Structure 1
Amino acid sequence: MDLNCRTKLQYVALFFALLGCVLTCVSTFVPLWRNLNLDLNEMEIWNTGLWQTCVIQDEGPMECKDFESFLALPIELRMARILMFLSDGLGIIGLIVSCFCLDCLKINEKYTKKYLALFGGALFWLSGIAALVPVSWIAHDTVQEFWDETIPEIVPRWEFGEAMFMCWFGSFFLLFGGSLLFCSVHPVTKQTTIRDQTKTIDSGLLYDTATLQNRCPDLII
């Protein structure tokens, strides 16, 4: 793999990982995981997230109420809070670690950048999986409740909110960024190595010829 191609691959990997980390961090705190539109009262739209429930009125401000007790929450919300915090932390640490594996930085250790790239890619993968689990879990419960035949049709049903799609895209971007970072660890090809050796030999020959001319000018015709 050419050095310029590897550098570009590293930048693309960091871009997607940064985008995924931003999306997962935003989706952690916004109350837009599920929404509820009441057919009997179209003036109100209910939104709920991991931390609070909000109601949006057509001609009034949005009012929110925080969840009072962590232990009183359903198991999926409790696990979602823990896993989303874990995902955000791993993503931020992965970005910091991956910045040190860029080719534009000069590090004396020969294999340091390789290990940093592998470690950063692994952190991105763990961050993406940690965000993918809770959003898929809540989405599964939402679908089960929406198609529950025991609930009368007149009762409003919760549906997917914007934050769930943000979390899905963020987790996929983190996984994609980690995969690209793994690909950037591929060693330099032989063609590049031979080219560098040829340049070294040519420069060495020029140096030797110049030295010989200075020492023995009568021997050079």
Structure 2
Amino acid sequence: MAFLTTKMMQRTAMFLSFGSYVTSLVTAFLPLWKTMNSDLNEVENWFSGLWLTCLYTEERGIQCKAYDSVLGLPMDLQISRVLVFISIGTGGFALVTAFLGLEGVEMCVRKPDVKRGLLIFSGVMTWVSGLTILAPVSILAYTTVVEFWDEGFPDVMPRWEHGEAMFSGWFGGLGQVIGGTLFFVAVCMGDYDLRRLSAPVSPDHYLPTFILCSSCDMNAIN
């Protein structure tokens, strides 16, 4: 289709990667990764994230508290923190390099190979950013399910469940993986356009026209 050009594909990848990165960034700091509601006290709702634990009551509203010790955290939470930092760093760096590699940006205009390399690098970094946000969300989702169905806990004891931030993290990570893939698609489209424009035209292409014009000139003389 005519509107599906290389430039349009680059901007689609950029837009999707940016939106997904913002979603992942917000998810990383939301204290809504896990929720807990006790059947014995329904007016209290607990929320837990990577950095904070919050308690919501109708009387006092929401109150949050940071974890007392980093080393005292469960191993899955410590690993998730590291992966989230990697995701934030690689995702931001990928957006900067992708912007510099876009068509229309006045940088390295006479060096298409440099722009192509920037888009490939940003695609790889966007993949890394998406995977490193999907990993902690999936790890904590798995541990939450295992603890929820652990028969060693008494039935009356409240248990953690999945929070809204886990689902936004999945959407953000998946969007970044798709955005990184679209960067590679844009690179392939650019390579195809370059080969098509630089392909030599065969002399046989002009032969029928030459013969036709020669016949017209002979008929005019006769």
Please report the TM-score for the alignment, with normalisation by the length of structure 1.
0.83
What is the Cα deviation at residue 142 of structure 1? 0.3
Deviations 1:8-54 (A, max 9, x none): 11111111111111111111111111000111111110001111110
Q: Is the 8 A contact 1:13 1:178 kept in 2?
A: yes
What is the Cα deviation at residue 4 of structure 1? 6.0
Q: Which residue of 2 aligns with 1:141?
A: 143
- Structure-2 separation of matches of 1:3 and 1:103: 15
Q: Structure 1 vs Structure 2: percent identity of aligned residues?
A: 38
SS at match of 2:14: helix
Q: Once structures 1 and 2 are overlaid, which stretch shifts more, 170-179 or 51-60? A: 51-60
Residues 74 and 46 from structure 1, CA distance in 2 versus in 1: closer, same or farther, beyond 3 angstroms?
same
Confirm or deny that 1:13 pairs with 2:29.
no
The alignment of Structure 1 onto Structure 2 pairs a total of residues equal to 197
- Structure-1 separation of matches of 2:48 and 2:20: 22
Paired amino acid for 1:193: L
Could you list the runs of 5+ residues in structure 2 that have no partner in the other structure?
A: 202-222
Q: Which residue of 2 aligns with 1:77?
A: 77
- Structure-1 separation of matches of 2:67 and 2:7: 46
- Structure-1 separation of matches of 2:113 and 2:124: 17
Confirm or deny that 1:161 pairs with 2:163.
yes
Q: Which residue of 1 aligns with 2:217?
A: none
What is the Cα deviation at residue 3 of structure 1? 9.3
Q: Which residue of 1 aligns with 2:116?
A: 114
- Structure-1 separation of matches of 2:33 and 2:57: 18
Residues 172 and 52 from structure 1, CA distance in 2 versus in 1: closer, same or farther, beyond 3 angstroms?
same
CA RMSD of aligned residues (A): 2.2
Q: Which residue of 1 aligns with 2:131?
A: 129
Q: Is the 8 A contact 1:101 1:113 kept in 2?
A: yes
SS at match of 1:184: helix
Question: Which residue of 135, 149, 152 maps to 1:150?
Answer: 152
What is the Cα deviation at residue 152 of structure 1? 2.1
What is the Cα deviation at residue 160 of structure 1? 0.5
Question: Which residue of 161, 175, 178 maps to 1:176?
Answer: 178
Please report the TM-score for the alignment, with normalisation by the length of structure 2.
0.83
Residues 190 and 167 from structure 1, CA distance in 2 versus in 1: closer, same or farther, beyond 3 angstroms?
closer
Could you list the runs of 5+ residues in structure 1 that have no partner in the other structure?
A: 198-221
Q: Is the 8 A contact 1:2 1:188 kept in 2?
A: no
Q: Once structures 1 and 2 are overlaid, which stretch shifts more, 116-125 or 145-154? A: 145-154
Question: Mapping of 1:185-200 within 5 angstroms?
Answer: 185-186=187-188, 187-189=191-193, 193=197
Q: Which residue of 1 aligns with 2:22?
A: 22
